[in-house]
Structure 1
Amino acid sequence: MSAVQPGYAPPSRPDQQATGRHRQRWLVVVTVVWAVLLAGLTWWSVRHDPPTVKEQRSLDRAGPVVDRAIGELSAAIGAAGVPALLPDRLARDCRVTPLERGADLERGIEVAIAGDDARAVLRQVADRLPARWRAGVSTYDGEPLLRADAGDFVAVEGRPGGPGRVLLTAATGCRPLGAGYRPPAADAAAESAALARVLDRWGGATGAVQVLTAPCPGGGTARTARGEAAAPADERLGPAFGAGAAPVVDSVDRYAREGDPAVLAERAGERVRVAVTTGCRS
């Protein structure tokens, strides 16, 4: 037996070297197979598994959910007040992750109500929303707050929006932009014509008219035409709308009445903002 000199590893026998190379080859093969399998599973998941978190559902997928939620809210309002669709708000400065920017879409409905009992109106709306939304009204900072889940991580809220007003919203939260948000096709010829007749009483529209729509749960669409005109500060708003249903609100600065279409007007400085709306029927 030969002595092993201190500080040196004993030489490997030829059979040991072959075994080591064989093990390394198998490790390489196993690693390659695992990488291919992982890539295949990732490809399958991306194409077949539904997204499981909000950050995976881009705005082009979440936008239609918001539109349908606004339609559901329109139908749920019923006779609780006079509704008008609000322009959508699209914020592009949010971050999905620290490295990825996204966008946040919010759509809403303002509702003029008789009196100031916003909690009762919110409860009526919550009771008429789909059961799967799990809608409820609680108290937050001393005020009533409606919360519901429209699905696909779209949050629905309702709260007082000032005296005699309730604000209902549906929002995506921050999402990857994807192909972006495309509002529903806007066709509100009757509402636009009624708006024009009112604004002509004050010299016509002073800016562009906005047309907003949302799909109704039972078919059809909710439609709002919005515009503004100059009006004398001491002139009541009601006479400009002629005869019709009894107004829900009738003051120097605000006017709202139900109908087909419904009308909502509010003074803002030297101008009057008017919304003419046909809502969804429950």
Structure 2
Amino acid sequence: MLWGVLLAGLAWTSARDDPPTVREQRTLDQAGPIVDSAAGELARAAGPAGLLEVGPARVRSGCRVTPISDGAALRREVGVLAPAGTERAVLTGIADRLPATWRAWVGPGLDGPELRADAGEFVSVEGRPTGDGRVRLTVETGCRPVGSGYTPTSAAAGPEVAGLSLVLTAALKALGQPNPAAPEVVTAPCPGGALARTARSAEPGPVPPAGALAQLAGDAPLLDKPPVYAYRAGDVTVLAEAGPDDGAVRLAATVGCPD
């Protein structure tokens, strides 16, 4: 009897005090800060000149943690410039600048080179070419209990956001949208304490005439591979992309982590 009471007490103490040892025990709210920090690490590793955009958090509900328990998965993406033929070099450079504890490596994949890394706490990182002059880096939790849920960090107003809005407004005007709505802003925390930011046009614009953004790009775009176009305006990168269904143009203006 005494032995049974002792075992029950030890089990309760372990459940209360010991960290979980498998992904399914870590909730989405616990994983959220790790995912956000990982996105910031990827933005820093890409470098200000290579970073194209910081994607918002996406929560996919309805997966199964166990046969009788529902869960959700959290995912973020980071877009990086990688002209054709440089994809492996870009991914290798990013892997070399990631924390050593991530054990990042680049190897062959089904459609080209792939980056894989472990951001800790069962948060995986992958990167692969998209075939249009970019590589897409993803951070994902896999299915886990929701807990209190993921709460994104709000982007506080400030000179950085105002600067992004000005650049975005100039691009929207060139595309024939003189009175754009307030942009949607997403952030990722840089390792040094700053924030990488992306401001997105709230509404897609009409299909632009050829060369509509060329003047703003100074005829020196970073990427000109329809339906994708990117250029630099000072320390801001502007990405324009036509939607696959409606052809409407979506704009994003991004400033990365400091060097």
Normalised TM-score (structure 2): 0.87
Q: Within the alignment, does 1:278 sit opposite 2:252 as a pair?
A: no
8 Å contact from structure 1 (residues 80, 121) kept in 2: no
2:209 is matched with which residue: 230, 234, 240?
234
> Which of structures 1 and 2 has the larger relative contact order (alpha carbons within 8 angstroms, sep 6+)?
2
Aligned Cα RMSD in Å?
A: 2.3
Match of 1:54 in 2: 23
Match of 2:107 in 1: 138
How far apart are the structure 1 equivalents of 2:54 and 2:139? 12
8 Å contact from structure 1 (residues 82, 113) kept in 2: no
8 Å contact from structure 1 (residues 91, 104) kept in 2: yes
Q: How many residues were matched structurally?
A: 250
How far apart are the structure 2 equivalents of 1:273 and 1:240? 18
How far apart are the structure 2 equivalents of 1:85 and 1:204? 25
Q: Residue 175 of structure 1: SS of its match in structure 2? A: coil
2:222 is matched with which residue: 238, 241, 248?
248
Using the TM superposition, give the Cα deviation of residue 38 of structure 1 relative to its aligned residue in structure 2, in angstroms. Answer: 3.0
Q: Within the alignment, does 1:68 sit opposite 2:32 as a pair?
A: no
Q: Residue 247 of structure 1: SS of its match in structure 2? A: coil
* Deviations 1:204-258, CA, capped at 9 Å, x for gaps: 47777321101000111010001144334533242363549x4211356432124
**Letter paired with 1:264:** L
C-alpha spacing 1:100/1:208, structure 2 compared with 1 (3 Å): farther
Q: Within the alignment, does 1:218 sit opposite 2:192 as a pair?
A: yes
Match of 2:83 in 1: 114
Select the structure that is richer in helix: 1
**Letter paired with 1:273:** R
1:171 is matched with which residue: 140, 152, 173?
140
Using the TM superposition, give the Cα deviation of residue 79 of structure 1 relative to its aligned residue in structure 2, in angstroms. Answer: 5.6
1:199 is matched with which residue: 172, 177, 200?
172
Match of 2:53 in 1: 84
**Letter paired with 1:214:** A
Using the TM superposition, give the Cα deviation of residue 192 of structure 1 relative to its aligned residue in structure 2, in angstroms. Answer: 2.6
Deviates more, 1:128-137 or 1:257-266: 257-266
8 Å contact from structure 1 (residues 214, 222) kept in 2: yes
**Letter paired with 1:231:** P
Match of 1:6 in 2: none
Name the % identity: 50
8 Å contact from structure 1 (residues 104, 174) kept in 2: yes
How far apart are the structure 2 equivalents of 1:84 and 1:182? 20
Match of 1:22 in 2: none
Q: Residue 38 of structure 1: SS of its match in structure 2? A: helix
8 Å contact from structure 2 (residues 48, 258) kept in 1: no
Structure 1: runs of 5+ lacking an equivalent: 1-29
C-alpha spacing 1:152/1:224, structure 2 compared with 1 (3 Å): same
Deviates more, 1:183-192 or 1:170-179: 183-192
Q: Residue 132 of structure 2: SS of its match in structure 1? A: coil
Using the TM superposition, give the Cα deviation of residue 270 of structure 1 relative to its aligned residue in structure 2, in angstroms. Answer: 4.0
Normalised TM-score (structure 1): 0.81
Structure 2: runs of 5+ lacking an equivalent: none
Structure 1 runs (4+) deviating above 4 angstroms are 204-208
C-alpha spacing 1:37/1:225, structure 2 compared with 1 (3 Å): same
Q: Within the alignment, does 1:260 sit opposite 2:235 as a pair?
A: yes
8 Å contact from structure 2 (residues 187, 195) kept in 1: yes
How far apart are the structure 1 equivalents of 2:228 and 2:17? 52
How far apart are the structure 2 equivalents of 1:186 and 1:45? 38
8 Å contact from structure 2 (residues 132, 225) kept in 1: no
